[in-house]
A and B are shown apart, each in its own frame.
Chain A
Amino acid sequence: MKRFLRQLTILLSAAVIPASVSAWAYWDRTKWDAFRDHAVPLSEVLQWKQTVLWVDARSAADFALAHIPGALRLTEDDWNELLPGLLKEWEPDSAVVVYCSSRSCHASEEVAKRLREEVGLKPVFVLRGGWEAWKGAQ
């Protein structure tokens, strides 16, 4: 039993060393709230004067059930198929706002990040609270 506990201690403490090194190495480079930096509340979006291009990052079934009027669907799963359609609708002076279902989902943050970094669209925001926030405001 003592031997087993010693093995357990070795394993649990061995992970602390690389984890600490990783924390030290990543600390400055990692923006912990990077995903949330571009999150905007619905009330703010509704006050914008520029055109808003809504992007729905939920599943096809959820989108078919209901979505924000005029929204286009774009997900990581169907990125290559759906992106051309979105780019056709996008205009340089429009703001892109991506949403998924709720506060806990990250699909919108990932899609927004890829639109910014891979496609180069600016500005791209994430709707805080997602579809639930929109539904709640109706």
Chain B
Amino acid sequence: MKAKVSAGLGLLVGALFVYAGVIKAMDPAKFFADVQGYDLIPWRAATVAFAFYLPWLEIICGLAILVRPLRTAALLVLSALLLAFTAALALAWARGLDISCGCFGGTTSHPRYVLWLARDIGLLAVTFTLLRPRTNPNQSSSPLFLARPGKANAAATKSPSANPKPRT
């Protein structure tokens, strides 16, 4: 059950980041303007590079959550990103900036800091939960995270080489 919830949450977070990345990657100029609004990166060239790089990092990490060998690293990168987003939003709020979040595209007539921060903190809680080491002995050894837990192990136990009989 826990494995199913974990897989579901992983799929949800992954899909959310892929969606956010695609929206931004499709309109880098808009995302560039949103990043500029935060007034945190002093160099224009760095802001342009960031506007191109971040959406793809989100897409790749969102997909990598579903690939077992890359899952932990992907979750760590996404957690670090969420921490950075939360800090940037809190800073903009403290400075009284009227910004566009730049999170999922679109523009609002006024900043919705409480909503944006709550969403980021909620996602951060989910990524931290997913990062906790699992102690399930039936954990799948399949490279795909969504593979049914225990299936690969069951196949392995059926194989005589995997479960040799003790010699008498």
Contacts and interface: CB of A to CB of B under 8 A. Distances in A.
B109 interface: yes
Interface in A91-138: 100-102, 104-107, 109-110, 130
A58 B110 contact: yes
Given A30-B29, A101-B98, A76 B56 contact: no
B73 interface: yes
Contacts of B61: 11
Interface residues of B, number: 37
B126 to A, nearest CB: 19
A18 B56 contact: yes
17 contacts: A7-B72, A10-B73, A11-B60, A11-B70, A11-B73, A18-B56, A18-B60, A19-B57, A22-B28, A30-B29, A57-B109, A61-B110, A76-B107, A77-B108, A105-B97, A105-B98, A107-B109
Interface of B: 25, 28-30, 32-34, 37-39, 48, 52-53, 55-57, 59-61, 64, 69-70, 72-74, 76-77, 92, 97-100, 106-110
